[in-house]
Amino acid sequence: MTPNNSMRRSAKGIDDILLHDETIFRDMNVFDQDYIPENFRYRESQMEALAICIRPALKMGRPINAVVLGSPATGKTTSVKKVFELVERSSDRVVCVYVNCQLHTTRFNIFSQIYNKLFGHLPPETGVPFSRIYQKIMQHLADNKKALVVALDDVNYLFHSKNANKIFYDILRAQEVYPGIKTGIFAILSDIEFRHALDKNVNSVFIPQEIVFNPYSRSEIKNILDGRVKAGFYPKVISEELIDEIADETLLNGDLRVGIDLLRVSANLAEADASKSIEQKHVQEALKKSSSINLIETLKSLSKNERVVLNSITSFPGDNLTAGELFEEFSEKTNASYSSFNRVLNKLEFLRLIDTKFTGKGFKGKSRVIILRFETGDIRKFMDDH
C-alpha cells in the first residue's frame, strides 16, 4: 500500500469516528464528573444534617457551620449542591454559594464568586480594592436581611495556600462590622478528619458540626451505576455482567468516579469500533486508560508529609515493610512524631493507595506490614514528574 493510500484510509477512519451520526449515548452529560442526578440516593441522612445546619438562617438566625468529610466520590459535593438548590427554591432569605477551592484559592477569587452570586456578574479584576468588594457584598446582605452560607469544596487547598484563616475570618466575623449579618461555612474535604489548624479568633466562631459520608457499599455502587446506564445509554447497550464487573472494579478502587468513567470510556471505545454495544474488550481497554488517570488525581492531592511516606514505601526493596521501619525513615526526614506518622498512614489507607495488615507480632500484636496497592513504577513516575 502506498503512503498516500494509507493516509487516505486513516483519514477516512477518523471521518467515520467524528461524523457518524449513530450513537449509543442517550445523554453523554450523565457521565460527567459534575453531573447531578435527579434521583440522588443513599445520602438522605447527610442531606438532612446539612439542611438542619441551614435551618436557623431560614428563621433569621445564624447558620450552623459544618465540616463535610468522606473519601473521594462519596456524594459530598452533590449533596451540598442539592441542599443549596432546595433551600434557594423554598426561600429567598439565604444566599448559598458553592466554591471549588482547587480553582479559587485567594480572598479575591473566593469573594468574587460570592459577588457573582449576588449581583450576577464578577467584580472588576483591577482598579477596585478588595475592601470595596467586601463592603458591597456585606452591605447588600445586611440591607436585604439575607443570610450567607458558603461551601468551600476541597478546603485543604486554602490551607496549602495559607489563605484559609483570613477567608474564614472575613466570612464568619462579618457581623462585627455589619451588625445583623448571619454567615456560615460548609468546609468540604476528602479526609478522615478536619485536622487543619485555624487561628484562635477563627476557631472561636467556627465550631463546626461534623457530617461524615461513608463509602458506598457494593449494592449501592451497582444501583448508582445502573441508574447512570439507564439515563445515559440507549437500551441493551451494556450487559448486566459487564455492569457487575465495573461495579466490582469500582468497589476495589473505593471511588465511584472510577465506575462512571469506565462506563463513559467503554462506550466511546465501542462507538469508535462501530459497535452498537459495549463488549468485554472495550471494558478491559477502558480499565487501562482510566486507572492511571484516577491515580494521578489522588496523588495530586497529597500533602508534603504524605508524599514523603509514599516515596519511602516505593523505595523499600522488599515486600515486608513494617510500620516501625517506615516510621524510622519518616522521622529522620521530617522530625515528626509517631502520631503524625500514624495520621499520614491512615490517610494513605483511606485513599486506598496502601493496605496495612496486622502481623500479630510487636507490642500487643499491633505490628503492621505496609502493602502498596499500585505498581511502584506508576507511582514513582508521577512523583518524579511533579
CATH of the domain at 148: 3.40.50.300
Last residue of a domain, one of 198, 213, 228: 213
User: Distances in Å between the alpha carbon of 194 and those of 98, 102, 133, 164, 189?
Assistant: 19, 17, 30, 13, 8
Same domain, 247 and 361: no
pLDDT tens figures, 170-204:
999 999 999 999 999 999 998 888 888 899 999 99
Report the pLDDT value the prediction gives residue 13, as an integer from 0 to 100.
Answer: 54
First-residue to last-residue Cα distance in the chain: 44
Same domain, 307 and 332: yes
> Over the chain, what is the mean pLDDT?
89
Same domain, 333 and 350: yes
Indicate if the pLDDT at residue 296 is higher than 50.
yes
Q: How confident is the model at residue 18 (pLDDT cuts 50, 70, 90)?
A: very low
Q: Tell me which residue range forms the domain holding 239.
A: 217-299
Helices (H), 126-185: 130-143, 156-160, 164-172
Indicate if the pLDDT at residue 385 is higher than 60.
yes
Mean per-residue pLDDT for 262-269?
Answer: 95
Q: CB-side exposure of 267: number of CA atoms within 13 Å?
A: 27
pLDDT tens figures, 117-169:
999 999 998 889 999 999 999 999 999 999 999 999 999 989 988 999 999 99
Report the pLDDT value the prediction gives residue 341, as an integer from 0 to 100.
Answer: 92
pLDDT tens figures, 208-234:
999 999 999 999 999 999 999 999 999
Q: How confident is the model at residue 292 (pLDDT cuts 50, 70, 90)?
A: low
CA distance 90 to 85: 9
- Considering the domain boundaries, does residue 19 fall inside one? no
Last residue of a domain, one of 213, 229, 260: 213
Mean per-residue pLDDT for 15-21?
Answer: 50
Same domain, 252 and 174: no
Same domain, 76 and 146: yes
- Considering the domain boundaries, does residue 3 fall inside one? no
Same domain, 362 and 255: no
- Considering the domain boundaries, does residue 272 fall inside one? yes
Indicate if the pLDDT at residue 89 is higher than 90.
yes
pLDDT tens figures, 351-369:
888 888 877 665 555 678 9
Same domain, 375 and 229: no
Coil, helix or strand at residue 208: coil
Indicate if the pLDDT at residue 245 is higher than 90.
yes
| Closest CA relative to residue 297, chosen from 347, 259, 271, 258 | 258
Report the pLDDT value the prediction gives residue 367, as an integer from 0 to 100.
Answer: 78
CATH number of the structural domain spanning residue 367: 1.10.10.10
Three cell numbers, residue 13: 477512519
Same domain, 207 and 222: no
Report the pLDDT value the prediction gives residue 7, as an integer from 0 to 100.
Answer: 45
Report the pLDDT value the prediction gives residue 12, as an integer from 0 to 100.
Answer: 46
Indicate if the pLDDT at residue 25 is higher than 60.
yes
Q: How confident is the model at residue 96 (pLDDT cuts 50, 70, 90)?
A: very high
Report the pLDDT value the prediction gives residue 9, as an integer from 0 to 100.
Answer: 42
CA distance 21 to 207: 55
Same domain, 95 and 209: yes
User: Distances in Å between the alpha carbon of 120 and those of 112, 114, 116, 117, 123?
Assistant: 11, 10, 5, 6, 10
Same domain, 104 and 148: yes
| 347 vs 9 pLDDT, higher one | 347
Indicate if the pLDDT at residue 269 is higher than 70.
yes
CA distance 325 to 333: 13
Q: How confident is the model at residue 386 (pLDDT cuts 50, 70, 90)?
A: low
Residue 268 near residue 236, CB atoms below 8 Å: no
Three cell numbers, residue 75: 456524594
User: Distances in Å between the alpha carbon of 298 and those of 133, 167, 247, 291?
Assistant: 35, 26, 20, 11
Report the pLDDT value the prediction gives residue 301, as an integer from 0 to 100.
Answer: 79
| 330 vs 4 pLDDT, higher one | 330
- Considering the domain boundaries, does residue 13 fall inside one? no
In the chain, the number of structural domains is 3
Other C-beta atoms closer than 10 Å to the C-beta of 127 total: 7
pLDDT tens figures, 299-329:
887 888 999 999 999 988 777 899 999 999 9
| 383 vs 120 pLDDT, higher one | 120
Same domain, 263 and 285: yes
- Considering the domain boundaries, does residue 282 fall inside one? yes
CATH number of the structural domain spanning residue 234: 1.10.8.60
Last residue of a domain, one of 189, 213, 237: 213
- Considering the domain boundaries, does residue 31 fall inside one? no
Residue 302 near residue 72, CB atoms below 8 Å: no
- Considering the domain boundaries, does residue 283 fall inside one? yes
- Considering the domain boundaries, does residue 35 fall inside one? no
Same domain, 306 and 295: no
Indicate if the pLDDT at residue 15 is higher than 80.
no
